[in-house]
Structure 1
Amino acid sequence: MARNRRICIIGISGKLGQYMAEHALARGWEVRGVCRPESVGKLARFGDRITVFPGRTDDAAVIARALQGCDGVLTVLVPWGVDDYASGTARAVLEHAEPKARLVFSCGWHVSRDGKDRYSLKLRAFVAVFGAIARALRFADISDQLRATCMIFDSDRDWTVVRGSDLEEGESQGLPVWSRHVGDPILASNRTRRIDFALFMVEALENDALIREAPAINGRLTPSAIAHARAA
């Protein structure tokens, strides 16, 4: 993607969205963003360097306006509530993005594209317990994020689904390492700086090798990534 082209960040007001905005602006790109009206204030520090479209990220009309003329779309898929929020967001982006736009979505390791991921007992238990409690409290619906990604995987768009490990704050360690499947030893540390998750999302816009891939990422300076580099 050439410099000074236009991208839109769906869910720009969250921590990950704001980091993506910082990376994109540093590269000279025109940045648009969609976030809930009550969250617009979180973006005050960006001033007139970004254009904000207030609205729910599953509101097709808002998404359609925001994506006009955009060469790339970065979407934070969040499973909030029990009203198909994540799948509604994915559907709106897939339906209203420009025909040749690069679409990059974020989710967690629990999403599997082909069923070949190998999950630890701890991760499987966490997803099962948290998922049940969150849905019972009507706080979140993890299964809706699975429906959203299945919709993306079935699309013929130029998409990438970035699957993040456990996140932490801190200074950047550089572009994360990745693998097609959870269970790869390079991912064993299961830790990525949030600022670097955002960096991978932005980098994916320009990396044609990631088109129709679902990379699972891990921090570049984690023990498992360093051990893999030494072995290589």
Structure 2
Amino acid sequence: MNPKGTKTMKRICIIGISGKLGQYMTEHALKMGYEVQGVCRPESVGKLARFGDRIKVFPGRTNDREVIRKAVEGCDGVLTVLVPWGVDDYASGTAKAVLDFADPGARLVFSCGLHISMDGQDRFSWKVKAALVVARIARITRLVDIEDQYRATDAIFASNRLWTVVRGPDLEEGESQGLPVWSHHAQDDVLASKLVRRTDFALFMVSALTDDTLVHQAPAIVSRVSQSAVAHAA
């Protein structure tokens, strides 16, 4: 259960449990024997019906500090999906609540896009840069605030908690291809394919809970069977 880490995981909380990534993380965590609880908007609770009483759900916005406080209490690990919805500090509010209320010693794993850079040394493709321009324009609609995801990860990087920020490339559906491989910077050759199955992104998130080598790291991931990963391994 815990080959790389030193902390035994029993109970975990998934912030954003009703989304596609959240549901995949739930599936993986249950298979690994974890007690699972999570937070999602009240109107999304029905999406989790197939899990029945195997999970505990705390209905509420994921940046609601009181909901987060109750949900993460007693959890050995917290998996958080950082989404840049709205213009009211949704992602940063979520991140700060988790950082403030998670139990001391809890492993905190956050998900975000490849556009985030921990040390400022990442170089991004024109595709990523174009997507960021579109996202910044979209803020006018008040539906997306990509800058808030930067504020969220800045708060995480400045924290002394046991965090990991997992940066995902383009996502696709499909059966698992195994645990993704990772590297430090977006331009690293192994990451050139820039594609991973959503279920494997979730698998990496859950696996990071017990991998101490990922503490205070921002791994960028790619499918282990992608062309770039296979070429790098050779």
**TM-score, normalised via structure 1 length:** 0.97
Name the structure 1 match of 2:8: 2
Name the structure 1 match of 2:117: 112
Q: Secondary structure at the match of 2:132?
A: helix
Letter in 1 for 2:147: S
Aligned equivalents of 2:183 and 2:147: distance in 1? Answer: 23
Q: How does 1:1-232 map to 2 (within 5 A)?
A: 1-2=7-8, 5-128=10-133, 130-230=134-234
1:30-77 Cα offsets, whole Å, 9 max, x none, are: 000000000000000000000000000000100000111000000000
Aligned equivalents of 1:171 and 1:228: distance in 2? Answer: 23
Aligned equivalents of 1:45 and 1:2: distance in 2? Answer: 27
Shift of 1:154: 0.1
Aligned length: 228
Shift of 1:111: 0.4
Over the residues paired in the alignment, what is the CA RMSD in angstroms? Answer: 0.8
Q: Secondary structure at the match of 2:27?
A: helix
1:180-230 Cα offsets, whole Å, 9 max, x none, are: 111001000000000000000000000000000000000111110111111
Shift of 1:121: 1.8
Shift of 1:131: 1.6
Aligned equivalents of 1:219 and 1:78: distance in 2? Answer: 22
Aligned equivalents of 2:102 and 2:138: distance in 1? Answer: 31
Runs of 5+ unmatched residues, structure 2:
1-6
Runs of 5+ unmatched residues, structure 1:
none
Shift of 1:136: 1.0
Q: What percentage of residue pairs aligned between the two structures are identical?
A: 69
